[in-house]
């Protein structure tokens, strides 16, 4: 069966809520989701690296901290140089998601870091393929529709300064599900 690894770090739970939504989407797409939470930059990454190696696709998740991936994910990326030497992730499908407190917040830069890492490994990056929501500027419907911020590189979402069970909103979570579903289906196609 097609397996998708979801490798993420979350300081305060918002990225984790999205990781769960991505996993729901992966299941909706007919694949198995292997969720791997990174706890710290100082941890042993061996099991996480092996899980990615064993998967058909990988989806990276990170909060945007100071305009980039958080330190545990960056440390994981550096640890993946061990795999780079054997080109072990070459031709694997890769994707990503992030969240920030603002609508801009340099979140594209977080995804760009993930894309650069994926390209260094020779992986195949896929965006979500969800057209940006056509939202009337004066409407508050944005929170209920996928891709309200308009990202083509990956899943970009926004969380208020509140608990992760209420934010990011449902539209952002569905965006994450749609991306998980897409990656699961694309990975199965590549496998075939
Ligand atoms: C150290 C730090 C830096 C942050 N930098 C940004 C930023 O550059 N852009 C942004 O939109 N939000 C920024 N935020 C807000 C977080 O991205 C936001 O609270 C997010 O929901 C946190 O995700 P998490 O709960 O998974 O840790 C920052 C938060 C912290 C703690």
CATH number at residue 186: 3.40.50.360
Task: State in Å: Cα 159 to ligand 1 middle.
Answer: 9
pTM attached to this predicted model? 0.97
CA-nearest residue, atom 16 of ligand 1: 100
pLDDT of residue 137: 57
User: How many folded domains does the chain comprise?
Assistant: 1
CA-nearest residue, atom 4 of ligand 1: 65
CA-nearest residue, atom 27 of ligand 1: 11
CA-nearest residue, atom 9 of ligand 1: 105
| pLDDT < 70: residue spans in the chain | 135-141
pLDDT of residue 141: 59
pLDDT of residue 127: 98
Q: What is the 3-state secondary structure (H, E, C) of the chain?
A: CCEEEEEEECCCCHHHHHHHHHHHHHHHCCCEEEEEEECCCCCCCHHHHHHHHHCCEEEEEEECECCECCHHHHHHHHHCHHHHCCCCCCCCEEEEEEEECCCCCCHHHHHHHHHHHHHHCCCEECCCCCCCCCCCCCCCHHHHCCCCCCCCCCEEEECCCCCCCCCCCHHHHHHHHHHHHHHHHHHHHHHC
Q: Are 36 and 65 in contact (CB under 8 A)?
A: no
Task: State in Å: Cα 108 to ligand 1 middle.
Answer: 13
Residue 14's domain comprises 3-191
pLDDT of residue 142: 75
Pocket of ligand 1, candidates 38, 60, 65, 108: which has the most ligand atoms within 8 Å of its Cβ, to mutate?
A: 65
pLDDT of residue 135: 66
pLDDT of residue 138: 55
Q: Is 127 in the pocket of ligand 1 (CB under 6 A)?
A: no
pLDDT of residue 133: 76
The phi, psi pair for 48, rounded to 5°, reads -65, -40
pLDDT of residue 132: 83
pLDDT of residue 144: 85
Percent of the chain with pLDDT over 90: 91
**Which has the closest alpha carbon to 158: 118, 121, 105?**
105
**Which has the closest alpha carbon to 168: 152, 140, 151, 144?**
144
pLDDT of 36-81, one tens digit each? 999 999 999 999 999 999 999 999 999 999 999 999 999 999 999 9
């Amino acid at each position: 069966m097609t397996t998708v690894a979801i490798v993420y770090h979350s300081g305060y739970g918002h990225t984790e809520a999205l990781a769960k939504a991505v996993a729901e989407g992966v299941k909706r797409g007919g694949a198995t989701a292997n969720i791997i939470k990174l706890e710290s930059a100082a941890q042993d990454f061996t099991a996480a690296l092996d899980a990615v190696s064993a998967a058909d696709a990988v989806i990276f998740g990170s909060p945007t901290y100071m305009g980039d991936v958080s330190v545990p994910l960056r440390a994981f990326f550096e640890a993946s140089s061990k795999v780079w030497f054997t080109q072990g992730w070459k031709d694997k499908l890769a994707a990503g998601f992030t969240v920030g407190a603002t609508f801009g917040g340099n979140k594209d830069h977080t995804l760009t870091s993930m894309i650069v890492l994926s390209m260094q490994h020779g992986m195949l990056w896929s965006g979500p393929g969800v057209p940006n929501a056509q939202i009337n500027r004066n409407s508050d419907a944005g929170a209920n529709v996928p891709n309200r911020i308009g990202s083509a590189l990956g899943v970009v979402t926004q969380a208020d300064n509140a608990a992760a069970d209420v934010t990011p909103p449902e539209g952002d979570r569905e965006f994450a599900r749609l991306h998980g579903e897409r990656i699961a289906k694309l990975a199965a196609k590549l496998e075939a």
